[in-house]
Structures are given as structure tokens and as C-alpha cells.
Amino acid sequence: MKSILASIVFLLASTLLFSQNAPNDSLKIIVESRIKKGVTSQEIIIPIVDSDTIKKNIVDIKTEFWDTVNYNPYRNEVVKFPLQITFKDSNYASPIAKNKVITSRYGWRRGRPHQGIDIDLVTGDSVSSILDGVVRYARYSRGHGKVVVIRHYNGLETTYAHLSSINVKPNDTIAKGQFIGKGGNTGRSTGSHLHLVTSYKGQYIHPEYIFDFSEDNKIRAKELWVTKEWTRASFHSSRRQSKLKLYTTEDQALASLIKTKKVYVVRSGDTLSRISKRNNVSIAAICRTNSIRKSSTLRIGQKLILEL
Ligand SMILES: [Zn+2]
């Protein structure tokens, strides 16, 4: 780190190229770094952390479930729905410094849940935090590859996966728009992209419910109520944009709950356990709603009501 700082200071004193389209509150510098076979240009983003960033975030987000070793420390936490998330800002900072091209959405994908949104990038592109926060987790994991998790001051966590390099460490305070690492293709990934996850107390949330991924970088609302349908990948398709139904009051969210029943038609090979896992409904709840026993035999074509 010292050597990086030293080289930044040195580079500041030498040739600099200032870029106009750097994220908010940061200074993007394109430097020439010497490598064995010649000279290559490298991009460094230095955030300008104003004292307000520290002052306005008085909530201590590290008191509960602060775990820098486990990706999901909330494993046994029961979350009551609808859950409320509030924002101070109306905009987030784009995680990449160019137009965001979504290559895969939050939703069901090839028989599995895809619990994040894929944003196209080229290996080596700068990735930055979309909001102020503290790095909770920064390491290599088999699925996510090199991954950074940032907890924000409203309890929301954002995960940046498949990075080629991690440039922060756990407990680092991060400003919105601050460079955290470089995009890549590490872990279970085919092709370089950013897999961005939004979660709250261990519950994955459809990122497009919270953030508008067009170039406006808008946060959908300052107060958002998240119902289970916005946490379940099986309710959405990774290939299509889901129809957005924002709940900005608790009443709206509660009123919507009445509708979150799903008719499931039993298919060949289905078991109660498989239906339960795929739809995130407990076996007990399926049995209760449909007045069947755990040991009941399912027929192909049988209709089950799933209360989600
Ligand atoms: Zn992904």
C-alpha cells in the first residue's frame, strides 16, 4: 500500500491526464505504469472523501452481524416482510465508468436462481462502490471469485463479484463512487462482467427494484418496502425486465401481499423438497396450505397453492 501511495504521489508530481467523466467526488487519473514489455496505461481513481461523508453517516453499521470471514453472516436471522429500506440520496454512483449494459438480470436462469445483475465490462475496468459504506468482506470465494461486499449505512449490502483485483480490505470506509477493484472473470463466470448483488440482512433483493440501471443512476425511491416477490429469483426471469411495482409505503406493500399466492403445477420428477427449495416455501407451509401430508404422493399436473 505504501508503495502504491508513493507512486501516486510521484505520479501526481509528474505527467497526469485528467479525465472528464470520472464518478462524482473522485479524481480519475490515467497513468503510465512500466511493465516488463514496455509501457501500458493504467487507470486510478482517487476518491475525494469530504468530511461530510463521515459526519452524515453516524449510524454504526458494524455492531450487528459484522463478519469479515463469512459471505452471509445473517444465516439464521429471521427477516419480517415487507422490509423497509430508506435512502438519504436520490442517486447512486455507477459501479463502472461507462454505459451500463445489462447482460443478465436477477431471476431464474437455466434452472437456477441468478441472484444478482450482470453488467458488462472489460477485465481491468475500474469498479467503484455505488454508495457510502464500509467494506465487510473482501476475498476470494469459489463462486464469486474475487469479491467485495460493502455494507451501507441503511443496512443494505452490495456485492461486487468476479473481480480481477481487489483494492480494498475489510473495515475500510468507502465513499460513494470510490474505486474498490478491477472487473474481471474470476470464480464461476464465463466472460468478464460485474455480478452485482443487493441484499439486506442476508435476503437477496432484485437490484432493479432499488436502482434504475439507466444512465440517470437513480435510486427508485427514498423509502422502499420490499416484499418477498422482490427477493425470490423464481418470480423473475434473468432474460426479461420484470414489471416494476414499487411500494413506497408500508400500506401499499401489505396490500400487495394478498396477491402473492402462486399456483404451482407439479411436473415430472418433482418432490415436495424440490418444490420447497425452488420456490423458497417451507415443506410445512406447502402441506398446510394444500392440506396434504409430507408423505403424500404428488401427481404430475396436480395444482399446489404456494403462499409466498
Ligand atoms: Zn451474475
Ligand 1 center–CA 177 separation, angstroms: 21
Task: Mark out the alpha helices in 39-160 (DSSP H runs).
Answer: 51-56
Q: What is the DSSP string of 204-230?
A: EE-HHHHB--STT-BBS-SEEEE-GGG
pLDDT at 239 over 70: yes
Set of cell numbers at residue 215 = 444512465
Helices (H) and strands (E) in the chain, counts: 6, 19
What pLDDT is stored for residue 257 in this prediction?
A: 74
Residue range 103-141, pLDDT digits in tens: 999 999 998 999 999 999 999 999 999 999 999 999 999
Ligand 1 center–CA 200 separation, angstroms: 18
Q: Are 143 and 188 in contact (CB under 8 A)?
A: yes
Ligand 1 center–CA 143 separation, angstroms: 10
Proportion of the chain above pLDDT 70, given as a percent: 80
Q: What average pLDDT does range 1-28 have in this prediction?
A: 50
Q: Which residues pair with 126 in a beta bridge?
A: 182
Q: Is the pTM of this model over 0.75?
A: no
Residue range 164-180, pLDDT digits in tens: 999 999 999 999 999 99
Spatial neighbors of 241 by CB under 8 A, at least 6 apart, are 105, 208
| Res. 193 pLDDT band, cuts 50 70 90 | very high
pLDDT at 211 over 60: yes
Residue range 23-33, pLDDT digits in tens: 445 666 666 65
Q: Are 219 and 92 in contact (CB under 8 A)?
A: yes
pLDDT at 55 over 70: no
What pLDDT is stored for residue 42 in this prediction?
A: 61
Q: What average pLDDT does range 265-284 have in this prediction?
A: 89
Ligand 1 center–CA 2 separation, angstroms: 34
Q: What average pLDDT does range 277-298 have in this prediction?
A: 88
The candidate with the shortest Cα–Cα distance to 238, out of 100, 115, 103, 107, is 107
Distance (Å, rounded) from C-alpha 233 to C-alpha 256? 18
Q: Which residues pair with 199 in a beta bridge?
A: 157, 204
Residue ranges of domains in the chain, CATH in brackets:
2-47 (2.20.25), 58-255 (2.70.70.10), 261-307 (3.10.350.10)
Ligand 1 center–CA 27 separation, angstroms: 29
pLDDT at 16 over 60: no
Distance (Å, rounded) from C-alpha 127 to C-alpha 181? 5
Beta pairing, strands 303-307 & 83-86: unpaired
Stronger pLDDT, 186 or 31, i.e. the higher one: 186
Ligand 1 center–CA 237 separation, angstroms: 13
> What residues have a C-beta under 5 A from ligand 1, the ion?
116, 118, 195
What pLDDT is stored for residue 21 in this prediction?
A: 42
